[in-house]
Structure 1
Amino acid sequence: MARTARWMAGGTAVAAAGAGMAWLWRHQEEVAFRRPMNEWTFTHMSTVLPVAAVPAAARVRPLSRGELPPGFTYEFRGTRRTLEQLHERTHTTGFAVLHRGRLVHESHPGRFGGPARRFQLFSLTKSVTSILLGIALTEGALGSLDDKVVTYCPELAGSAYDGPTVADLLDMTSGAGGVEDYEDPQAPVNRLMRAVTGRGSVLDVVRSVDTGADPGTFFNYSTLDSQVLGWVLEGATGLPLARYASERLWSRIGAETDAYYGLSRSRPRTAVGGGSFNATVRDMARVGLLMARGGSFDGEQVVPKEWVERGRGSGKELLRPGALGEQYPAHYGYANQWWTLGGEHRAFTGLGIYGQFLWVDPVADVVVVKTSAWPTAEDPDRDAETVAALSSLVTHLSTAE
């Protein structure tokens, strides 16, 4: 009887453990992306997903050093705060500031941060994909922005992406897919992420979405658009995304640390061109410097100046700051896989959920990289405070001589 009881107890424990593992598998993203676990997750994505490396440059181009002028504070909703308070309030994990090409500030407040730590950049990846497409266009691999997507992705024939052009996707006006709602399990972006983690086909998810508007007529932020742009780039160049990024971008800006793309667990493996690039803040500062200098880096024109200008604002009324729709902060517009900020400087920023920023102000010659681990994917208050702080930081650098 005692032996039977022990066997039953052991069986119950095994069953409970199995049920627990099954629950953890079904809810892995939810658990991994909660604070404080997400600070670890966002710096260890190579242990979570298969990856494709983007090797560091054979010749590293050092960043010259400078000093952040003392006394910086910013005001947000009637209260003045310091940079350290910004980091604490917005869960900064890595932070770098370039002014006039010099690294004037770098810090790594995150528990797992450091100069060589690669951070998950989420949708800031979209802006990197845009840069690569600009290079491919210049090289002639990509024929025209007016080319239909299916020219490069014939597997999407008959889907909602059979009709939109490359330009439509760059401006998030494909007309395909639904609302990017991270709280809705059935939203296209969440179905995409489930497929990436091995529960379904990424291609099937992309092919499954409906047409919601005529191409070019309506702004709808969609990671699926950017996923397709990654496939367009691969189809046009004949190279995997990571290899093209290494040969055409990472090597030419003198990146000092390997970066990597997360790949889908499901096969065929595919790079997540809309949200899986991982890199150090210092190397992303080099990317920002490239954009701040009109696509030129150390005298080499890496990406056309016209392409950089396209990312600062297209002039289209439906994409200007404040015109994107009620669900988007009024301080943002959109163009070419970048969020535009308008104003005299026409600054622009790459953004990623959970608080990732690549802020570029070409007029002030300022670049700011901020990686974060917010408690939730989207946080309007933390976004607004970060925008207030970075805007004030640009002013501080421009006026403090």
Structure 2
Amino acid sequence: MTGMPTLADLVWARGYTDPAWARRHTTSGRELIPSRSVWRGSGTASALPTAPPGALDSLTFTGPHGQPLPLPELLAAAETDALLVMHRGTLVHEQYLHGYEPHVPHFNASAAKSYLGLVAAVLTHDGQLDRGAQVAKYVPELAGTAFGDAQVDHLLHMGTRMSYAGRPYDKALEAQRYFAVLAPQLRPYGYTGPATIREHLATARTTGEPGTEFRYENGNVEALAECLRRITGTTTSALLSEMIWSRIGAEEDAYYLLDADGTEAACGGFSATARDLARFGEMIRCGGAIGDRQIVPEAVATTIASGVPDGYARRVRFPAAPPEAPATLSYHDLWWIPNDPYGSFMASGIHGQRLFISPALDLVIVHYASQIVSPAVPQVPLVQAFLGIGAHLCA
């Protein structure tokens, strides 16, 4: 196809088999269903020191078929919308493609899980959230469900074993059913299932002992978000704004998509600009601080990659990886840990969203994209490229 689809046509593009459809979705969320702003605060935007452009354009990386690709071709293969690279606090590369503009919030998809994980870790550090407590302690109406009977720590490590409404569990199908809960226009004819996120969670039943298996499932994050709302007495949007977004010098409000109850889609309905996400990542890289202001406790920011527990969360596959792929990643507090020599960790979302933070390389990378998720479309090895960029900048 050529050009951008209309918003009216977008609901028919289930599966997003063309990058243009995915791109329309990733930049137009709040035009499709209700949303709530994550306020940037009343202060001025923090500066992003910038180096002269072009320092990375001549680098060559490994492409999706193992072929060498210069950076511009790699970004094209990844259907990149934006790439921002910060090294030692300086923005050394900033690029926008396919008409995407710097001031427009971009869908983060499942990368949003990690941001909620950080909020949960801070509340744990402050003594407000008990990792060992059953979820039903905070959300009594989830008692008797797979999430209510699990511990908070199981949610933070995707450790529940469950099925919805008696169905055999299928990750891809359950993701589609979750989207139908969130967006009525995606529901098939005659749909009689849950109409809100809370109703959806209430249908989950335990199929095995929690904490024994890694199962990447949106419901864990939504149940965690409900715990945090009950503890703090506020919305997810207001909580993220109060704890982080209003304190990092963001240029723009971010936003969450909402269900019919006005509840945020915490597991993936978050959108923000690439520049503001770079500020967020740089704050974490600097031990949770911006200058002399501590935004997140240092003990939280510096243990994202080192705090991986033993057992079921030790080694996992990336969600989009084929079954035969080696299990080389770890998962901690909803962050992915590549287990590289640099203490790196990342937030990651479908269609190629990445916030990559590598403390030992003094590196923060934001990558927004509109990739097609299909076995017929090989995924671009972005993490290896990010590490190559970091090694080059440190040389």
TM-score, scaled relative to structure 1: 0.85
Distance 2:66 2:178 in 1: 41
Partner residue in 2 for 1:344: 341
The alpha-carbon deviation at position 297 of structure 1 amounts to: 2.1
Shift of 1:293: 1.6
5 Å matches for 1:133-282? Answer: 133-140=120-127, 142-177=128-163, 181-182=171-172, 184=173, 187=174, 189-198=175-184, 200-264=195-259, 266=260, 268-282=261-275
Do 1:318 and 1:324's aligned partners in 2 also have CA atoms closer than 8 Å?
Answer: no
Question: Partners of 1:391 and 1:249 in 2: how far apart?
Answer: 27
Counterpart Cα distance in 2 of 1:205 and 1:397: 46
Bigger drift between 144-153 and 353-362 goes to: 144-153
Secondary structure at the residue paired with 1:363?
helix
Residues 65-96 of structure 1, C-alpha deviations (whole Å, 9 max, x = no match): 12463532213455321211111101001111
Q: Quote the Cα distance in structure 2 between the aligned partners of 1:169 and 1:377.
A: 27
Which residue of the other structure, out of 312, 319, 322, is the alignment partner of 2:313? 319
Matches of 1:363 and 1:64, distance apart in 2: 20
1:180, 1:252 → 2: CA distance? 40
Provide, for residues 207-254 of structure 1, a one-character-per-residue CA deviation record: whole Å limited to 9, x for no partner.
Answer: 212213212111111111011111111111001011111111011111
Matches of 1:233 and 1:377, distance apart in 2: 34
Change (3 A) 1:368 1:324: closer
What is the alpha-carbon distance in structure 2 between the residues aligned to residue 207 and residue 126 of structure 1?
A: 20
Letter in 1 for 2:179: M
Match of 1:205, SS state, is helix
Corresponding residue number in structure 2 for 1:38 = 22
Instruction: Report whether the alignment pairs 1:362 with 2:384.
Output: no
Which secondary structure state, in structure 2, belongs to the residue aligned with residue 107 of structure 1? Answer: strand
Cα distance in structure 2, aligned partners of 1:324 and 1:259: 26
**1:382-393, aligned counterparts within 5 Å?**
382-383=379-380, 385-393=381-389
Alignment of 1:74-93 (within 5 A): 74-76=61-63, 78-93=66-81
Of 45, 48, 58, the residue aligned with 1:63 is 48
Give the TM-score normalised by the residue count of structure 2. Answer: 0.86
Q: CA deviation at 1:170?
A: 0.5
Number of equivalences: 367
Q: Which runs of 5+ in 2 are unaligned?
A: 1-7, 188-194
Range with bigger deviation, 56-65 or 28-37: 28-37
Inter-partner Cα distance in structure 1 for 2:124 and 2:196: 29
Distance 2:143 2:181 in 1: 20
Question: Residue 35 of structure 1: CA displacement?
Answer: 2.7
- Quote the residue 1:18 is aligned against: none
Q: Give distance in 1, aligned partners of 2:212 and 2:15.
A: 38
Contact 1:242 1:260 (C-alpha < 8 Å) held by counterparts: yes
Between 317-326 and 68-77, report the one with greater CA deviation: 317-326
Which residue is 1:396 aligned to?
392
For the structure 1 residues 87 and 24, does the alpha-carbon distance in structure 2 shift closer, same or farther, using more than 3 Å as the test?
closer
CA gap of 1:386–1:109, structure 2 versus 1, over 3 A, is same
**RMSD, aligned CA:** 2.5
- Name the amino acid aligned to 1:52: R
Partner of 1:12: none
Given that 1:179 and 1:221 are in contact with CA atoms closer than 8 Å, whether structure 2 keeps it comes out as: no
Identify which range, 366-375 or 52-61, moves more after superposition. 52-61
Distance 1:324 1:284 in 2: 22
Q: Is the Cα contact below 8 Å between 1:191 and 1:205 reproduced in 2?
A: no
Judging changes above 3 Å, is the alpha-carbon distance between structure 1 residues 309 and 277 closer, same or farther for their aligned structure 2 residues? same
Aligned to 1:115: 102
Deviation at 1:306, TM superposition (A): 2.8
SS in 1 for 2:97: coil
Counterpart position of 1:10: none
Q: Deviations over 1:142-184 (max 9, x none)?
A: 23211221122112111111221111111111233475633x3
Give the conservation status (yes or no) of the 8 Å contact 2:120–2:129.
no
Q: Secondary structure at the match of 1:126?
A: helix
Q: Which amino acid aligns with 1:30?
A: R
Larger Rg: 1
Identity of aligned residues (%): 26
